[in-house]
C-alpha cells in the first residue's frame, strides 16, 4: 500500500503543480519522481540511479527521433510546403465535401506539424472556403480540429506517440500502421458530429487576409518529406516480421538500416531541406528554422526525459509486484492506461504530457497488466493516445487557440472541441478493445 499511496500523492502533486502553480511539466515530473522515491522508502542511491539511468536511457532511444520529427514539421510549415499539401487535398476532395476535406487535411498536416500551428495555418483557408461554399464555419472547424487531434495523439512522428512508443518499447512501424487504422476509423463518428451537430451552431465569419510564402515548393517534394520516413519505418517492420524469416542480404540490410526510426526521420529532414529555394541563415541560423525547431523540441525532449526518470523510479521501487490483481487479463488491462491518460489530460491539459507520463507509469506495470506482448504494447500506446485526447477544455492551449481564432464563445468551444475530443477518444478506445478481442 505504501507504493500506491506514494503514487497517488505524486500524481496529485504533479497535477497541482502544473495546473494551479503553473510550474513547467519537466520540473514537476522531476519533483514528482523524487517525491515518489522518498515516500516509497527508496534509498538515496536507488533514487540517484533512477534519475541518471531513467533520463539517459529514454533520451538515448528517442531524443533524436523527437528532434528530427519536429524539424521536418517546422521546415514544412515555414517553407509553405504544408500549405501546398493542404491546398492539394482540398482541390482533390472539392468544396462540396468541405467537412471531409478539412478533416483529412488536418489529419495529414498534424503528423509532421504541431496541431496548434496547423490550426493557425489552416484557419484563414477554412474561413474562406466555408464562406464561399455557404456551409457552417463551426462545422468545418470541428472537422478540422478533430482531424488535427486524431493524428496528433496516435500517429508518429508526432512527438507524443513517438515518446510513448519508445518508453513502452513498442515497434514504431506497428504503432504507425495500427495508429493510422484506429485513428482513421475513429474519425467517422467525429465526422457525423461535425456535420450533424456542430454545423447547427451559429458562428459568424470575419474574413482575414491570407498571406502565403512568395515562392512555394512543389507538391511532391513537400509530400516526400513526410511519406518517405513513414514508408521506410513500415518496410523495416515488414522485413523483421518473424513469419517471413528473411535471410540477410544487401537490400534487406539497407532497408533495415534506413528504416531504423532515427535514420528514417533524418532522411525526412534531408528531404525537407530541399523545400527552401536556397539554404542560408534563414534556415540554418540559431534564429532560423533549424534554431526554432530546436527551441520547440527541447521542452518535449526534457519532458520525455523526466518521464523516463519517473518510470525508472517506479520500476526500481518494485510497485509492479504490488499491482497483480484488479485487471482481468490483457484486454481489461488496456483500460488502465486509457483512464489514467484521460485523467491526466483532463486535469492538466497537455496531450503530450499525458502520453509521456502515462507511458512512464505503465512501463514497469506492463507484465502485471498483461500487456507485455509486442501486439499489446502497440495497443497500449494507442490506448494512451486515445485517453490523452479526452477531453480538451479550458486548461488546454489548443482549446484557446481554437476559440480565439474562430471567435467562438467558451460554451461553443465546449460544444465543438471538448465534446469532439471526448467522442474521438471513446470511439478509439472502443475500437482498440474490439481489435484486441478479435486479434489479441
Instruction: Encode pLDDT of 328-347 as tens digits.
Output: 444 568 999 999 999 999 88
Please give the pLDDT value at position 326: 45
Whether pTM > 0.95 for this model: the answer is: no
Choice among 86-90, 101-105, 304-308, 433-437 with the minimum mean pLDDT: 86-90
Please give the pLDDT value at position 129: 84
Please give the pLDDT value at position 323: 58
- Tell me: the pLDDT tens digits for 75-115? 998 898 988 988 888 888 876 789 999 999 999 999 988 88
Cα distance between residue 344 and residue 390, in whole Å:
9
Please give the pLDDT value at position 254: 94
- Tell me: the pLDDT tens digits for 263-279? 999 999 999 999 998 88
- Tell me: the pLDDT tens digits for 158-205? 889 999 999 999 999 999 999 999 999 999 999 999 999 999 998 888
For CA atoms 421, 352, 177, 92, give the dihedral sign: positive
Please give the pLDDT value at position 330: 43
- Residue 2's pLDDT band, with cuts at 50, 70 and 90, is confident
Q: Phi and psi at residue 145, in whole multiples of 5°? A: -65, -40
Report yes or no: 234 and 177 within 8 Å, Cβ to Cβ.
Answer: yes
Question: Domain containing 101: what range?
Answer: 2-438
pLDDT of residue 419 exceeding 70? yes
Measured in Å, how far apart are the chain's first and last C-alpha atoms? 32
Cα distance between residue 329 and residue 312, in whole Å:
24
Q: Phi and psi at residue 186, in whole multiples of 5°? A: -65, -20
Cα distance between residue 419 and residue 432, in whole Å:
20
Domain count, the chain: 1
Please give the pLDDT value at position 327: 46
Query: For 287-292, what is the mean pLDDT?
Result: 92
Which residue would you say has higher pLDDT here, 278 or 432? 432
Cα distance between residue 400 and residue 308, in whole Å:
30
Amino acid at each position: 500500500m505504501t507504493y500506491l499511496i506514494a503514487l497517488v500523492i505524486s500524481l496529485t502533486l504533479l497535477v497541482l503543480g502544473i495546473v494551479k502553480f503553473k510550474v513547467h511539466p519537466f520540473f514537476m515530473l522531476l519533483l514528482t519522481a523524487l517525491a515518489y522515491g522518498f515516500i516509497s522508502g527508496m534509498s538515496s542511491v536507488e533514487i540517484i540511479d533512477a534519475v541518471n539511468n531513467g533520463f539517459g536511457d529514454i533520451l538515448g532511444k528517442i531524443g533524436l527521433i523527437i528532434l528530427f520529427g519536429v524539424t521536418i514539421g517546422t521546415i514544412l510549415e515555414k517553407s509553405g510546403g504544408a500549405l501546398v499539401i493542404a491546398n492539394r487535398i482540398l482541390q482533390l476532395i472539392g468544396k462540396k465535401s468541405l467537412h471531409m476535406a478539412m478533416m483529412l487535411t488536418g489529419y495529414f498536416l498534424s503528423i509532421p506539424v504541431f496541431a496548434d500551428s496547423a490550426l493557425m495555418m489552416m484557419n484563414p483557408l477554412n474561413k474562406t472556403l466555408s464562406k464561399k461554399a455557404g456551409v457552417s464555419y463551426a462545422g468545418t472547424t470541428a472537422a478540422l480540429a478533430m482531424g488535427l487531434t486524431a493524428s496528433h495523439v496516435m500517429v508518429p512522428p508526432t512527438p507524443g506517440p513517438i515518446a510513448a512508443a519508445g518508453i513502452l518499447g513498442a515497434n514504431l512501424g506497428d504503432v504507425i500502421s495500427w495508429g493510422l487504422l484506429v485513428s482513421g476509423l475513429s474519425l467517422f463518428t467525429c465526422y457525423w458530429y461535425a456535420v450533424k451537430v456542430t454545423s447547427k451552431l451559429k458562428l459568424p465569419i470575419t474574413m482575414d487576409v491570407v498571406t502565403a510564402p512568395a515562392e512555394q515548393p512543389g507538391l511532391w517534394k513537400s509530400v516526400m518529406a513526410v511519406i518517405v520516413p513513414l514508408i521506410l519505418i513500415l518496410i523495416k517492420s515488414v522485413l523483421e516480421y518473424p513469419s517471413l524469416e528473411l535471410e540477410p542480404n544487401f537490400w534487406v540490410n539497407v532497408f533495415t538500416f534506413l528504416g531504423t526510426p532515427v535514420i528514417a526521420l533524418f532522411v525526412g529532414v534531408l528531404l525537407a531541406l530541399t523545400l527552401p529555394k536556397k539554404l542560408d541563415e534563414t534556415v540554418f541560423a540559431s534564429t532560423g528554422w533549424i534554431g526554432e525547431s530546436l527551441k520547440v523540441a527541447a521542452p518535449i525532449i526534457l519532458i520525455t526525459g523526466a518521464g523516463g526518470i519517473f518510470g525508472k523510479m517506479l520500476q526500481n521501487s518494485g510497485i509492479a509486484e504490488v499491482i497483480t490483481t484488479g485487471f482481468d487479463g490483457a484486454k481489461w488491462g488496456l483500460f488502465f492506461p486509457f483512464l489514467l491518460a484521460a485523467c491526466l489530460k483532463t486535469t492538466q491539459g497537455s496531450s503530450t504530457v499525458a502520453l509521456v507520463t502515462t507511458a512512464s507509469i505503465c512501463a514497469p506495470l506492463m507484465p502485471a497488466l498483461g500487456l507485455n506482448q509486442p501486439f499489446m504494447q502497440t495497443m497500449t500506446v494507442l490506448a494512451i493516445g486515445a485517453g490523452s485526447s479526452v477531453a480538451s477544455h479550458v486548461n488546454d492551449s489548443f482549446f484557446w487557440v481554437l476559440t480565439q481564432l474562430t471567435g467562438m464563445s467558451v460554451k461553443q468551444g465546449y460544444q465543438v472541441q471538448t465534446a469532439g475530443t471526448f467522442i474521438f477518444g471513446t470511439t478509439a478506445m472502443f475500437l482498440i478493445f474490439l481489435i484486441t478481442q478479435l486479434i489479441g
